[in-house]
Structure 1
Amino acid sequence: MSRIRSVATVPALNRRTLLAATGAVSLSAGVGFALRPDAPAHAATTSQEPVADSLAHTGARSTAVRPPAPAALVPYTRGTTLQSVAAPRSGSTGYRRLGDGRGWTRILRDELAAAKSGRADRRTTLAAFVQLTDLHLIDAQHPLRLEYLRARNKSAWRPQETLTVAGAVSLVERVNSLRGAPVTGSPLHFVMTTGDNTDNNSKTELDWFLKVMSGGRITPNSGDPRHYEGVQASGLKTYWQPDAALRDADKQLGFPRLPGFLEAAIREVRSPGLKLPWYSTVGNHDALPLGCYGSRGDSYLTDFAVGGKKLMSLPDAECTALAKSIKDGSSPKGTVFRDLLKSHARQMRSVTPDENRAPFTPAEYLRAHLDPAHTGPGPIGHGYSSANLAAGTQYYTFRIAEDVIGVSLDTTDPGGHYEGSIGTAQLRWLERTLRENKDSYVVVFSHHTSKTMRNRHADPAHPAEKRHGGDEVVALLASFANVLAWVNGHTHKNEIIPHAGPGNRSFWEICTASHVDFPQLARVIELVDNKDGTLSLFTTLVESAAPHATDFSDLSQTGLAALYRELSFNAPGARTDLSGASRDRNTELVLKKG
């Protein structure tokens, strides 16, 4: 069992220490907490103190308090995919019921450095944390949703979409139940969610996400508070109609009839909130309506989002044309979509208007994170700061441990399209941050992967600024010996890629599957020093706390979370390769020590 090094623990943060962190000692306008060599590490807070309005203490300095080191835990597999994973029961056909399947083994990957014997007895833990990604909290009744694209592409609408909140709460419950880091026994230090926390860039979804993460009561409903008004109560055979006797397309594939499902789906859900400090990274679905339209200031789409009309069906040819324009990015501001909606005004159905469905701006996203009501276990702002608000940025850095920092990037392109890029200002900030912290190891977080940063649409707020893709980010990260990992999501698929640079400069890119599509996973990542000139990164996947087996008569919060997983497994058109190969799941990733 590895030895546990002392890691930077956290002071309670009130307004005084927050202002000191975000005002007096900020590295730059894009930074969350200061990382000067003499600045304290602010990895989290447990403080819930009322905040004051005074700016009199902006020069105050807080200090990290070091309690006695906790007793070492022992390695374990229970509650992880090392022990068991959801799998179809033997002999099942058609709609397949899930049960307990065989766990996934841990794979050693030594493409970047040779693994030396005896390292398990020598190693010490640098840090351990949990990555969540692509939660996609979905307001399933939102007027702007594109469910009708299912007429041409079965995967364009998912039968499980009404249950995202229950599923996300169950994932929080699983993280809360973990007994530290599975391999080293280290305490888990924080949770990072790497974007697409919401789905429609809707205020309803943002509120649900923050309450899921920090704790609270959520009613996953919008529009009519008494009834569900979305496509699953439309009587259209295109969609699974769970309450109705109608033999829809999904029931023809074996999907069950579940009377009372929709009433249960919009019932209040209670989240305990994470027990660990958590940080947030922005994704394209958090920044852009539908995750692809840079339509800020388009009053038509904003009015449509909060209005009383919803399109639920569309001719096949128009579905094909709209889907093509989204994929190729030919209409990044949503002009094609807006014109389509206008042309089908007479075919729309009436729904209850709801102002809470309005799209949120980047500033509103930041303010919501900074709201004391959503602080939970901290830190205040969950990485974002008043400096971000002032500068209009959504990237920052934070201290993970004594000699490890985290860097959260904003890879969304405000110009539109679902693929990403970063502007020159952010790329130069990243380079400065890596250089100024050359004595610390670095873990980089973003939503997009290196392969999905190919979008070069200009940022409307900075039209002359060049956009930079994943290849340039990889080259920059590989030029610094202190970069250990780039952790991301977006593709909804587990994939781990080695990136080799000159000399000892190499790092691992770790992409984790989503929590909206099967297999619905999160990932624990442990950083260790093997004390032999190498480092290891251990990755361990976890599922939600919901049982693998479902009971169609159980429409409780837990029962719905289990059904959420099973529906996602059976979703027509769903990809079957998202769990990745065994080398992309539970691993030990070895690196040379820079």
Structure 2
Amino acid sequence: MSRTRSVAGSALGPHRRSVLAATAAVSLSAGVGYALRPTDSQAATAAGQPAAGAPVAHSRRAPAAPLAPYTRGTTTATVATPRGSSGFRRLGDGPGWHRKVRGELAAPKTGRIGRRTALAAFVQLTDLHLIDAQHPMRLEYLRSTDVHAWRPHEALTVPGAISLVERINALRGAPVTGSPLHFAMTTGDNTDNNSGTELEWFLTIMSGGRITANSGDPRHYEGVQNSGIKQYWQPDTAVRDADKQLGFPHIQGYLAAALRELNSPGLNLPWYSTVGNHDSMPLGCYGLGDSWLAEYAVGGKKLMNIPASDAKKLQNAIRDAKDPQGTAFRDFLKSQARNMRSVTPDERRAPFTATEYLKAHLDPAYRGLGPVGHGYSTANLEAGTQYYSFRIADDVIGISLDTTDAGGHYQGSIGTAQLRWLDRTLRENKDSYAVIFSHHTSQTMTNTRPDPARPSERRHNGQEVVALLGSHANVLAWVNGHIHRNDITPHSAPDGRSFWEISTASHVDFPQLARVIELVDNKDGTLSIFTTCVESAAPHRTDFTDLSQTGLAALYRELSYNAPGANMNLGGDPKDRNTELVLRKG
């Protein structure tokens, strides 16, 4: 039985690539399905041993019949496509995205389709950004200088994420090989504002249960969308706000529907979690520890509108990391006290620490199909870390990194201890292929300011991580998010070692995607990684009178497409969407 391991754990144990090859245990051509069971995992203790009585989670069983590709509900079949050419554009069914073969790292060889065998298949979700839309710490007022700083659909992140869970649950196999999907991995920014409300909603969505995406007054909404301020969409009234002038609809009952209790079925396969900067820090950029900001987060005042000049100064300070601890932000908020509106205080909005984040994942209430802790363990609690390794298949390991920097700023890096642990884990498992997971991309790991908890420890940027991964022949892929855009980059080392970096678009900005990733052995000296984007289960076409859970999820997508200032290039180029990525076998 394989086990989830943490930084405090030992090696992942023996692997049987030669046995698999000899027995053709995963041979698709022979019609044999193999449940790779990455989720026979248990929370590890500090000594690296399984905790007594820890629940064991099981992956889906392989189907008895020969496996067949399953493309229904993926973007190879159909993609949400706008109708019309101006104004508020409605969405409908459009043609699917073709698969692109990429051979920058190895030439694809003929006949590989008949030879290949599946190694593993899983789903990546990233940048869900579950938003407590009434939270006092939100920066909606930056919209006075940047129209994209507030999105009209932010009150619908919960029904949107539930619909994505429903889509993943409906996939009956992998789109190319038909292999069972063995687990899901979230690669950070699961929450938006380091808020206890958002963390509770995220864990419930993933593991299953009922959610009311409301905070403050339990009876009604208290935020910018019923404020009467015309720079925000006021859906429930006939006020001609800035968004309605662009064609946004008047939807009576929208806010009441957004606050209704919803139900998530939870993922029907095990899931793992990786931390992002919005999970670690208020607003994704300010270091924890300011008691005044913590009190403001749960208090009864909210700033909703400021002049564009003030908004520009604040936005520049965030972008340039001029105020990583939030000191100037705190002083700014104090100076705006007379301009704030009264809202209902709510202790549930309190910022959470790294320790509280780990404990929440370990809470039995959010176990779902496991594994216990969703990758995190009591060893992480004892060591004060948020990185770990786990067994994906008999000859594939997964490694989840923590690329956030508690010193502040939204860009990332890792400390020396974690870099050495990564190197050691790859060396100790050199007979297994490896998939690396993180929130930040290699290009966005540029923040090397010290971690306040480890002030003497050096921080390492993305290029140093690329160099380390390139020194190990067993690394196949580095899977991440953060940039809210589909982007796939080949990395090669001088000695011919290579891997693919796969960055996936967010689920808060259009086109709101997740990604299925399949690893296969082509039996010709090459491997292929197949990537297939998936949308939520909500229909592309919306009905403004349908305020059901499904109707809200469809509206979430359509509003995100029409959001003023929305970047229409986040879906990436065809080579960054549905692909076959070929590389030489290490």
- Report the TM-score when normalising by structure 1: 0.91
Give the structure 2 partner of residue 93 of structure 1.
Answer: 86
Give the structure 2 partner of residue 402 of structure 1.
Answer: 394
Q: Is the 8 A contact 2:129 2:191 kept in 1?
A: yes
Within the candidate set 266, 272, 275, 1:273 is matched to 266
Within the candidate set 34, 39, 47, 1:44 is matched to 39
Change (3 A) 1:66 1:179: closer
- The 4+ residue runs of structure 1 with deviation greater than 4 A are 55-69
Alpha-carbon shift at residue 261 of structure 1 (Å):
0.2
Greater CA drift, 72-81 or 469-478: 72-81
Alpha-carbon shift at residue 334 of structure 1 (Å):
0.6
1:253 maps onto 2:246 in alignment:
yes
Within the candidate set 520, 526, 530, 2:522 is matched to 530
Change (3 A) 1:270 1:63: closer
1:464 maps onto 2:456 in alignment:
yes
1:79 maps onto 2:73 in alignment:
yes
Within the candidate set 102, 109, 112, 1:109 is matched to 102
- Quote the Cα distance in structure 2 between the aligned partners of 1:35 and 1:344: 54
Give a deviation string over 1:41-98, Cα, whole Å, max 9, x none.
9732599xxxxxxx99868999999998533321132110001100111x34200000
Give the structure 2 partner of residue 207 of structure 1.
Answer: 200
Change (3 A) 1:540 1:233: same
1:553 maps onto 2:545 in alignment:
yes
Greater CA drift, 68-77 or 194-203: 68-77
Amino acid at match of 1:154: V
Within the candidate set 165, 170, 181, 1:172 is matched to 165
Give the structure 1 partner of residue 321 of structure 2.
Answer: 329
Change (3 A) 1:257 1:394: same
Aligned counterparts, 1:353-372, within 5 A: 353-372=345-364
Amino acid at match of 1:460: P
Give the structure 2 partner of residue 539 of structure 1.
Answer: 531
Give a deviation string over 1:105-164, Cα, whole Å, max 9, x none.
000000000000000000000000000000000000000000000000000000000000
Amino acid at match of 1:412: T
Amino acid at match of 1:103: G
Amino acid at match of 1:78: R
Change (3 A) 1:58 1:224: closer
- Quote the Cα distance in structure 2 between the aligned partners of 1:311 and 1:575: 27
Q: Secondary structure at the match of 1:382?
A: helix
Alpha-carbon RMSD across the aligned residues, in angstroms, is 2.3
Give the structure 2 partner of residue 15 of structure 1.
Answer: none
Change (3 A) 1:63 1:409: closer
- Quote the Cα distance in structure 1 between the aligned partners of 2:61 and 2:566: 49
Change (3 A) 1:307 1:193: same
Q: Is the 8 A contact 2:7 2:387 kept in 1?
A: no
Amino acid at match of 2:164: L
1:229 maps onto 2:206 in alignment:
no
- Quote the Cα distance in structure 2 between the aligned partners of 1:540 and 1:67: 20
Alpha-carbon shift at residue 504 of structure 1 (Å):
3.5
- Quote the Cα distance in structure 2 between the aligned partners of 1:582 and 1:141: 37
Alpha-carbon shift at residue 36 of structure 1 (Å):
2.2
Alpha-carbon shift at residue 409 of structure 1 (Å):
0.2
- Quote the Cα distance in structure 2 between the aligned partners of 1:59 and 1:138: 37
- Quote the Cα distance in structure 1 between the aligned partners of 2:580 and 2:498: 15
Q: Is the 8 A contact 2:388 2:400 kept in 1?
A: yes
Q: Secondary structure at the match of 1:301?
A: helix
- Quote the Cα distance in structure 1 between the aligned partners of 2:53 and 2:340: 58
Q: Secondary structure at the match of 1:179?
A: coil
Q: Is the 8 A contact 2:15 2:394 kept in 1?
A: no
Give a deviation string over 1:482-537, Cα, whole Å, max 9, x none.
00000000000000000011333100000000000000000000000000000000
Give the structure 2 partner of residue 148 of structure 1.
Answer: 141
- Quote the Cα distance in structure 1 between the aligned partners of 2:50 and 2:386: 25
Q: Is the 8 A contact 2:67 2:179 kept in 1?
A: yes
Q: Is the 8 A contact 1:456 1:467 kept in 2?
A: yes
Amino acid at match of 1:540: T
Greater CA drift, 227-236 or 64-73: 64-73
- Quote the Cα distance in structure 1 between the aligned partners of 2:529 and 2:292: 48
Alpha-carbon shift at residue 28 of structure 1 (Å):
3.8
Change (3 A) 1:56 1:283: closer
Q: Is the 8 A contact 2:62 2:179 kept in 1?
A: no
Within the candidate set 421, 434, 446, 2:438 is matched to 446
Give the structure 2 partner of residue 241 of structure 1.
Answer: 234
Q: Secondary structure at the match of 2:372?
A: coil
Give the structure 1 partner of residue 407 of structure 2.
Answer: 415
Q: Is the 8 A contact 1:109 1:587 kept in 2?
A: yes
Q: Secondary structure at the match of 2:553?
A: helix
- Quote the Cα distance in structure 2 between the aligned partners of 1:65 and 1:546: 28
- Quote the Cα distance in structure 2 between the aligned partners of 1:586 and 1:83: 11
Q: Secondary structure at the match of 1:528?
A: strand
Q: Is the 8 A contact 1:46 1:376 kept in 2?
A: no
Alpha-carbon shift at residue 236 of structure 1 (Å):
0.2
Change (3 A) 1:82 1:247: same
- Quote the Cα distance in structure 2 between the aligned partners of 1:314 and 1:64: 50
Q: Is the 8 A contact 1:27 1:36 kept in 2?
A: no
Amino acid at match of 1:87: T
Q: Is the 8 A contact 1:504 1:593 kept in 2?
A: no
Give the structure 2 partner of residue 17 of structure 1.
Answer: none
Alpha-carbon shift at residue 468 of structure 1 (Å):
0.4
Give the structure 2 partner of residue 382 of structure 1.
Answer: 374
Q: Is the 8 A contact 1:27 1:35 kept in 2?
A: no
Q: Secondary structure at the match of 1:399?
A: strand
Amino acid at match of 1:589: L
Amino acid at match of 2:39: A
- Report the TM-score when normalising by structure 2: 0.93
1:579 maps onto 2:571 in alignment:
yes
Alpha-carbon shift at residue 102 of structure 1 (Å):
1.1
Within the candidate set 489, 504, 507, 1:512 is matched to 504
- Quote the Cα distance in structure 1 between the aligned partners of 2:307 and 2:179: 55
Q: Secondary structure at the match of 2:272?
A: strand
Give the structure 2 partner of residue 317 of structure 1.
Answer: 309
